[in-house]
Amino acid sequence: MSANDCHAVVQRRVQGPVGIVTIQRPERRNALNMTVKHELEQALRALANDPEVAAVVLTGDGGYFVAGTDIAEMSSMRPTDHVRQETDRLFRTVRELSKPVIAAVEGYALGGGCELALSCDMVIAAEDAKLGQPEIKVGIMPGAGGTQRLLRSAGRHKTLLWTLTGSMISAPEAYAANLVSELVPSGQALARAVEVAQSIAQMPPLAVLAIREAVRLGADVPECPVEG
C-alpha cells in the first residue's frame, strides 16, 4: 500500500524518523471494518520494516480517532467468522510492533477504537475527546482486550462502571485514570504525538526496545507476595 493510493482507507507517510498512519473513513467516523484492519496491519508492518522510522503515530482523519467497530459488518458475522478472519489480529500487531506506537486521539475512541488506542504504547488525547467501551448497549462485551486494559490502568471499580453502563469517558477522566498519557488542546493531538515520537527517535534504539519489552512483559506478570 502506498501513501498515494486513492482507494486506500489508511494512509501511511514518513516524517523524518516518524511514521504516521491515518485512518481515512470520515463518513463512518473511521469505524473499523475488515478492510481498515487489514490496511492498518499492512501500514504498521511496512513502517516496522523501514530502517529510517524509529516511532509510529496512529491517528484518524476528520476529527475522529475511531468511533468503534463497524456494527453493520459485524452484524452479519458469526463467531466462527471472527476466529477464521482473526478479527483481533490488528490489536496484537499494534501491541507487538517492534517500534513505539503513539495514538493521537481526537473526537471519539469508542469500542474497538478505544481498544486500539489502549493497545498503543502511549495515548495523546485532545481535552474534549471521548473514550469508552459501549459494547454492552448492543448486547456484547469488548472483544479485543478492552476489559483487561481498562482493568490494569483504572482498576476494577472504574472498569466495571464503564463497561457495565457503556458510558463515555471524558478525556480528563481518562487521564486521571491513567488511560491517557497526556492531554492537549483540541486539534493538537497529532502534532504533539509526532513531537513525542521525534523525541523518542533521538534516544538509543536498543534502550528504547529494552524498556518497552520490560514494561510490556511486566504489565502481565502478577506481583510477587511480600514475605513477612
Tell me: the pLDDT tens digits for 183-223?
A: 999 999 999 999 999 999 999 999 999 999 999 887 766 65
Assess whether pLDDT exceeds 80 at residue 96.
yes
Go through the chain and tell me how many residues it has.
Answer: 228
pLDDT for the residue 109: 96
What CA–CA distance (Å, rounded) separates 21 from 97?
A: 14
Secondary structure (3-state) at 156: helix
Residue 185 near residue 126, CB atoms below 8 Å: yes
pLDDT for the residue 70: 65
- Decide which of 59 and 74 is more confident: 59
Place of cell 521525534: 198
pLDDT tier at 63 (50, 70, 90 boundaries)?
A: very high
Q: For residue 126, what are the β-bridge partners? A: 184
pLDDT for the residue 3: 44
Assess whether pLDDT exceeds 50 at residue 6.
no
What CA–CA distance (Å, rounded) separates 135 from 75?
A: 13
pTM confidence score? 0.87
Ramachandran region of residue 107, left (φ > 0), alpha (ψ -120 to 50) or beta?
Answer: left
Report the amino acid identity of residue 102.
I
Per-residue pLDDT of 21-30, as tens digits, reads 999 998 888 9
Give the domain ranges of the chain.
10-218
Residue among 110, 106, 39 at smallest CA distance from 69: 110
CATH topology for 10-218 is: 2-enoyl-CoA Hydratase; Chain A, domain 1 (3.90.226)
Per-residue pLDDT of 111-170, as tens digits, reads 999 999 999 999 999 999 999 999 898 887 787 677 888 888 888 999 999 999 999 999
